[in-house]
Amino acid sequence: MTERDCASTRKVRSRFQSSSRARRSGEVVLVIIIVCINSQNSYYLFGLWQASHAPCPKTSDGGTAQLGAPEEVCNAPATEFVARFLGASNVIEGNCTGIQGGELSLDAPGLPRLVIPRDRAPHVAGAGPVKLVIRAEKLKVTPRAAATTDGSALDARVETVDYQRQSARCFLRAGRHQLQAINMFDDHLFAAGEEVSVRFRAKDCAAHPKEVR
């Protein structure tokens, strides 16, 4: 990040902290964010969590792809565009097999059957084609021999590793799927070609209806 980028980040952070203090004091704050977003969308995400309502713009026609509370927009994106706009996400085609109570059952090729929280897929009305969304930071890359303690595991091969300050972005091949994971540095640094295990929890997944183009 350049010195100019750092200065811009500090300026944006200061403004949103002021807005946050005003909101806590009882004032109604409407935050309209127009910023140049870097590759990680970090400026937008910082503003997102400071606002009471978070719009996700739609670039094609200038409309709004999704409007809702920050947690809803981040954790339950309504479309693939929203999921990818808010940062690195793995979007996989699947099929909802049913909804029962507060849970949604989902099948996707090459993945174990998943049961995700209903509030992570509020736009899915029933059985049918869906897109499964797993944010890159919710995929944990571990050595293949490590024991599975929680959630699901996929065998994968590391294709590329991009080291970013205190984290590493791993691009992986798991069967028919190309995935990316963003993890903090641990004791083990992975190399291209290494056989690994990719772990994730169903409760961290989201889903939205498959869009008709």
Q: Per residue in 196-206, pLDDT tens?
A: 999 999 999 99
Shared domain for 101 and 78, answered yes or no, is: no
Can you tell me the distance from the alpha carbon of 196 to that of 33, in angstroms, rounded to the nearest whole number? Answer: 40
Shared domain for 21 and 43, answered yes or no, is: yes
Shared domain for 130 and 145, answered yes or no, is: no
Shared domain for 72 and 115, answered yes or no, is: no
Residues present in the chain in total: 213
**Number of domains into which the chain is organized:** 3
Instruction: Return phi, psi of residue 3, to 5°.
Output: -60, -35
**Domain boundary residue, one of 85, 110, 144:** 85
**Domain boundary residue, one of 85, 116, 150:** 85
- Work out the average pLDDT over 71-97: 87
Shared domain for 9 and 81, answered yes or no, is: yes
> 130 or 27, which is more confident?
130
Shared domain for 71 and 108, answered yes or no, is: no
Shared domain for 34 and 67, answered yes or no, is: yes
Contact status, residue 96 vs residue 127, Cβ threshold 8 Å: yes
Strands of 89-100's sheet in order across: 114-117, 103-107, 89-100, 128-135, 206-209
pTM, two decimals, is 0.72
In the chain, which residue ranges form alpha helices assigned H by DSSP?
Answer: 3-24, 42-50, 70-75, 80-85
Whole-number pLDDT of residue 44: 47
Pairing status of strand 89-100 against strand 128-135:
antiparallel
In tens, the pLDDT along 94-124 reads 999 999 999 999 999 999 999 999 999 999 9
The lowest-confidence range among 55-69, 112-126, 163-177, 198-212 is 55-69
Shared domain for 51 and 76, answered yes or no, is: yes
**Domain boundary residue, one of 25, 53, 85:** 85
- Work out the average pLDDT over 73-94: 87
Shared domain for 103 and 32, answered yes or no, is: no
Per-residue pLDDT at 146 exceeds 80: no
> 173 or 33, which is more confident?
173
Domain with residue 128: its CATH number is 2.40.50
The lowest-confidence range among 36-40, 87-91, 129-133 is 36-40
Domain with residue 184: its CATH number is 2.40.50.140
Shared domain for 111 and 185, answered yes or no, is: no
Shared domain for 118 and 140, answered yes or no, is: no
Residue 123, domain extent: 89-134+205-209
Can you tell me the distance from the alpha carbon of 55 to that of 31, in angstroms, rounded to the nearest whole number? Answer: 10
Shared domain for 81 and 94, answered yes or no, is: no
